[in-house]
Amino acid sequence: MIDAALFGAGLIGSVHAKNLARHPDVRLRTIVDPRRDAAERIAAGTGAEIADTATVMNDPSIKAVVIASATRTHAE
């Protein structure tokens, strides 16, 4: 089982969350998004927890991260 985190709880994030939650070898553990209401909506539907970036990055059990934040937020 691979523990995963999702960054971004918008439209694309919700699509990725559903796919991750359905995958038999993945457990969606955490959702990170500055809009708590959006993160809560996805967490409620997937059983994931809401966390901040530092918590996810310092968690050695997280083995995969999906970046689904808006393109303008991506580093070059």
> Which CATH number does the domain housing residue 57 bear?
3.40.50.720
CA distance 6 to 51: 10
- The pTM of the whole model exceeds 0.85: yes
Residue 48, domain extent = 2-70
Domain count within the chain: 1
User: Is residue 75 in a domain?
Assistant: no
User: Is residue 76 in a domain?
Assistant: no
Average pLDDT of the chain is: 93
Q: Which residue has the higher pLDDT, 71 or 21?
A: 21
The model's pLDDT over 24-54, given as tens digits with 9 standing for 90+, comes to 999 999 999 999 999 999 999 999 999 999 9
- Please, what is the Cα angle at 73 between 68 and 76, to 5 degrees? 105
CA distance 12 to 2: 21
